[in-house]
Structure 1
């Protein structure tokens, strides 16, 4: 209870400070139309999106903030009133990530919420709105882990991505084949419009050349899917981390990685095999003031506090003590004993040596953390990793070059590093057999003493 009260006090303070530092109040439509229209991901739109909207409204000084059901399930209207009594409304429709991009194209939304990156086909279809993969358009709001859930009585504790592909494609149909108790497997999955389904399909099914079994029970609602699995002893499904509820989450392995539960730390660094980013996509040429304000608010300290309070993983940088294991290289084990790892990994754009959009913002988050903890001068070690190469020496060189790329950016921000290390293809967090896994393994960790 005390922790909850402290959190609420902190959140109120953050929103108040943000409000006092805000620019002029956002414009209110005079014709009564919504000030902002958001469509897309159910993972985002069911709880987190509306909570961020309420936070923005509070930051803007609106009063009597309320949520009202929309015309259809998974739709709502959030309203508030200005100090002069003007009514402000924001509409949120949460029918799946793909519907957000369709709504942008049809001019039925100002902001698309997505639980997976925009597809090339969507990028092309929306090219008239600008480059939606650009830094100004693609905004990571939170980190989530696609969580595989079972009935609480199921004895299995871990599954590999290869086993998941066999389960959800229907090739493995009895739990006894996986070392569990005999009984038919009942498959539960998100619906076709869902970004959660798209992510699971890409990271699990498509990677192994599989498709979802035809008789899978499909759901638009993550909460409903989780509740159904928690009541079915033979059930298995996948949802976002905040929706585990009464079900049981299992650890996941991918390739040579160790089994990983969807913990906050492993999801924050995106090491967990089924970790994913949650996005707002805002057309770069947009003049929609409320949409721009919501993106800024979502990435602020107050917005990230709301992210954490809704069960997702915030992008706030924290230090974590890592326990050394025998599988780690000796030099890495030594580092774990004298330093702590920051809860962020720097990753690179696909087919590029450039840091991706999230990493560009994380640079400043790391600098702010180091400055606040007086660690700007020779207290930081960067550790680079890469995907497997035929030449191990080349893999080690490339991993160090990636760490040097981060070093250059930190130097521009007056951070003096202690050391830069490269460990090549050691300690993979994902299989190297696909692009997604290789991108995950091409990472740079930040350690502070």
Structure 2
């Protein structure tokens, strides 16, 4: 009876297969083509959340669409850096460089000219936009591109029995005020904290959505990581550990349900992240300088927004922006009109949100108008089949809150009407059904939304 393969055997087989593959590539494509790496046609710097998996996958997809062949990836000069190479129709090597050292590094690289495109797992900051103002408005529709939706997952060891926490409890844990699992109603003794590093957009998002709202700072005892996957591996190996990662890096750990303010506790599930209702949902961005002439940068942005690019987003563990209809379970505590929708209609996997301080649709919402139009056309729902429901944050006068929420829905109606949509109803429910706490401006902005329902 043949013996089972040992780890050593598998390693030898792996090396042998790698050598065979290398030999084939050298035979089919002369190695001299790749020996001296060509000047990069596109340089990307920024988020590790994007750069670890999604960025390279989108670049490879874009290269295929551009007709390149023999596309392969090799390590860069430092950890979390890669070169992606392919051959064009004349057999000339084309290279894209990608460095994933944190969102803030992308904006620095845009400014000093060492990158053509910045990948970020958070919106550009005011100071960064000001530093780059000489190149134009980095918050303009063409410069700021939402390529995917992600959710910060709060992760534990799989055996930890805790199931849910509020954002206030999370802040107390990560600032070190709550020191043991027993204080949270669990068990396990001392809590071990794991966090991303200061360059990370993931950390910036956690700091903004959790720590800063409570006026707190991360405990100095937290172990810091540049990589989401390495942080996840550390937590999944530590029964006393807790950390936060992007959705694609939960891996062997287990995610907690999170509540913010009066919202229900929510797991980082695809539908709740797609609508950005999950309290720790966030957007992933590509930023290019306004008027950028690099054709590869423009090609990558266009590909990332395409159905094929969004399929790659989905395949790599993030949430695509393609529109789907979702059945929502009717609940007794819902307003009657909303409960009727939940009973008889389906909700689309998108929320329209607005620029801060006004009723203008934000950059993602402007692109989502076309996505919703395409969906309604494809499903034959342009006439009297769609309902818009507006929501907002509390006002001293409840009637004012209801009016403002309806005005937001009417702003969306105007955009959809340009595409030939005749809506069944437009309504506003004021400050009902919040998805975030109204105690901070970020939460109030998230509550100012318009949902789309279809019959």
TM class by shorter-chain length?
Answer: over 0.9
Shift >6 Å, 4+ stretches:
none
User: What does residue 4 of structure 2 align with?
Assistant: none
Cα separation, 2, equivalents of 1:178 and 1:389? 34
1:184 paired to 2:190: yes
Matched, 1:378 2:384: yes
Q: 2:167 corresponds to which residue?
A: 161
* Correspondence list, 1:5-20, <5 A: none
The SS at the match of 1:79 is strand
User: After the TM superposition, which residues 364-403 of structure 1 pair with which residues of structure 2 at under 5 Å, given as runs?
Assistant: 364-403=370-409
The alpha carbon displacement at 1:412 in A equals 1.1
Displacement of 1:88: 0.2
Q: Classify the secondary structure of the residue corresponding to 1:144.
A: strand
Structure 2 residue corresponding to 1:317, chosen from 310, 323, 334:
323
Query: Which residue, out of 208, 224, 230, partners 2:214?
Result: 208
Distance (Å, rounded) in 2 between the aligned partners of 1:404 and 1:128: 36
Give the number of the structure whose alpha-carbon radius of gyration is greater: 2
> Deviations for 1:290-316, whole angstroms, at most 9, x for unmatched residues?
001100000000000000000000000
- Equivalent residue runs for 1:77-92 within 5 Å: 77-92=83-98
Q: CA deviation at 1:285?
A: 2.0
Determine if the alignment matches structure 1 residue 219 to structure 2 residue 221.
no
Partner of 1:73: 79
> 2:298: which partner in 1?
292
Write the distance in 2 (CA, Å) between the matches of 1:65 and 1:335. Answer: 48
- Map residues 400-415 of structure 1 onto 2, 5 A cutoff: 400-415=406-421
CA shift, 1:64, in A, is 0.3
The separation in 2 between residues aligned to 1:94 and 1:81, in whole angstroms, is 24
Which one of 92, 101, 104 corresponds to residue 107 of structure 2? 101
SS at match of 2:73: strand
1:196 is matched with 202
**Distance in 2 (alpha carbons) for counterparts of 1:351 and 1:77:** 42
Deviations 1:270-327 (A, max 9, x none): 0000000000001012111100110000000000000000000000000001110122
What SS does structure 2 have at the residue aligned with 1:417?
coil
Provide the residue aligned with 1:438 in structure 2. 444
Match of 1:174 in 2: 180
Partner Cα distance (1:82, 1:105) in 2: 30
CA distance in structure 2 between the aligned counterparts of 1:246 and 1:139, rounded to whole angstroms: 31
Any residues of structure 2 matched to 1:247-258 within 5 Å, and which?
A: 247-258=253-264
* Matches of 2:211 and 2:250, distance apart in 1: 21
Mapped to 2, the partners of 1:35 and 1:351 lie a distance apart of: 39
- 2:362 corresponds, among 349, 356, 361, to 356
Are the counterparts in 1 of residues 347 and 453 from structure 2 also a CA contact under 8 Å? yes
Q: In structure 1, what is the Cα distance between the partners aligned to 2:145 and 2:421?
A: 25
Please say if 1:233 is aligned against 2:242: no
How far apart, in 1, do the equivalents of 2:79 and 2:58 lie? Answer: 20
Give yes or no for the alignment of 1:307 onto 2:307: no
What SS is found at the alignment partner of 2:89?
coil
Offset, 1:32: 2.9
Cα distance in 1 for residues equivalent to 2:336 and 2:69: 58
How far apart are 1:182 and its partner, in Å? 4.2
Contact 2:355 2:362 in 1 (8 A): yes
Deviations 1:375-417 (A, max 9, x none): 0011000000001111111111111110011011111111000
Q: Is the 8 A contact 2:200 2:226 kept in 1?
A: yes
Residue 51 (structure 1) aligned with residue 57 (structure 2): yes
Aligned partner (choices 242, 246, 249) of residue 243 of structure 1? 249
2:188·2:240 contact (CA, 8 Å) conserved in 1?
Answer: no
Alignment partner, residue 6 of structure 1 = none
* Distance (whole Å) between structure 2 residues aligned to residue 94 and residue 328 of structure 1: 44
Task: Report the RMSD for the aligned CA atoms in angstroms.
Answer: 0.7
- 2:341 maps to which residue? 335
Post-superposition Cα deviations, 1:206-251, rounded to whole Å, max 9, x if no partner, equal 0100000001000001000001000101100000001000001000
Show the counterpart of 2:435: 429
Q: Counterpart of 2:40? A: 34
Match of 2:127 in 1: 121
